[in-house]
Amino acid sequence: ITLMPSSSQPYRLRNICRCSHKKSIPALQERERLVDLVSQRFQGRFDNLDQVLLDQASGLDPLDVHERFDCLIQPIKLTKDEPRGGGSRSNIVPDPCIALYYFDGEPTKLFRIRYYSFHHVPDAPHAANSATGGGDVLGDDPGAETKRDGVFLQMRLWKLPQPWASEVRQAAADGIAIAADVAARLLVGSVQEAERAATDRGGEAGTLVGVGTTAPDEDDVVPLQLLSPCSELVGCEVVWEYDSTNDDLRAEMLEGSCVVDSERTPGKQIRVTDELILNDLQLSINDCGFDTDTGALIYGNRKGIPYLLQRRTP
């Protein structure tokens, strides 16, 4: 199934490029390594209980103590036999994931449900961003093209429709793993139904166009299409890269931040920032939300200290 590029111009990397690392091995080999590391590390159950206990023992102001939350990330396979990316080694991407976030180690306190899909960022000259006045994204040369130095993997965020979210929340009463299985079943069932409908109309399965997408990208082939009724959080994409110096995977938002509708207060918008660092033992999340009207912090650590989630299961 071919997934089209996001309508939010996902290849603008003016923030990411500043911290990219000089290539020392061929680009294809770097791409394969990045895909393998994201596939291996971006799954499992994590929590920041150790950090919370340390905060409390340190006598911090209660407002500076991190909230306790857990995260379960589970890859989703559409079929058992279909390789990620349609079989071409250069196109392979990690399997899509379901991610469930919940407070205090209690699945019934589920506060965020997301699907994540992965897409390659073409390693090609990058045209100047007209929104910045036509100048070079990183330099001062107007109208110049910028060659990105590094290999990146884009992760797009998808929100479940309300009926699906309600079903997942109900399943969480029986355990977070069961809730994740329900979310995976709903998505896979929707994709398979859409493919059957396309075939019945005389089309070919595997060529469906997804929600929130525009023109096709021949190098961006994934084995799972996120179709309606799922909705993409356009503008909230993050890009992963590998930091060989620290053996970390690092991710930042393409535009530094994005604006989303509040899920708790209808009509309210929140400006979100997010930075991730992932290794074999820990997932660091520096996720903050700000009131778009006042700039006040709505969620996240007020000192900007990331949430340090330890890996509890592979």
In the chain, the number of structural domains is: 1
Whether 244 is covered by a domain: the verdict is yes
Contact in structure between 178 and 169 (CB atoms under 8 Å): no
Among the listed residues 69, 64, 50, the one whose alpha carbon sits nearest the alpha carbon of residue 111? 69
Contact in structure between 180 and 164 (CB atoms under 8 Å): no
Whether 214 is covered by a domain: the verdict is no
What's the CATH number where 248 sits? 2.40.128.590
Query: Looking at residue 43, what is its pLDDT?
Result: 97
Whether 308 is covered by a domain: the verdict is yes
Q: Which run of H or E residues covers position 154?
A: strand 153-159
Token pair 């990183």 is at which residue? 138
Contacts of the segment 205-210: beta carbons below 8 A, 24+ positions apart = 205/1, 206/1, 206/2, 207/1, 207/2, 208/1, 208/2, 209/4, 210/3, 210/4
pTM over 0.75: yes
Express each pLDDT in 169-213 by its tens digit: 999 999 999 999 999 999 888 877 777 777 777 655 444 333 333
Express each pLDDT in 141-177 by its tens digit: 334 333 445 789 999 999 999 999 999 999 999 999 9
Whether 34 is covered by a domain: the verdict is yes
What does each of the 314 residues of the chain score in pLDDT, given as a tens digit?
Answer: 333 333 333 333 333 344 444 444 577 888 999 999 999 999 999 999 999 999 999 999 999 999 999 999 999 986 544 444 444 555 788 999 999 999 999 999 999 999 999 988 865 333 333 333 332 222 233 343 334 457 899 999 999 999 999 999 999 999 999 999 999 999 888 877 777 777 777 655 444 333 333 333 444 433 344 455 788 898 999 999 999 999 999 999 988 999 999 888 888 999 999 999 999 999 999 999 999 999 999 999 999 999 999 999 97
Domain residue limits at 53: 25-77+93-124+150-198+223-312
Whether 136 is covered by a domain: the verdict is no
Whether 193 is covered by a domain: the verdict is yes
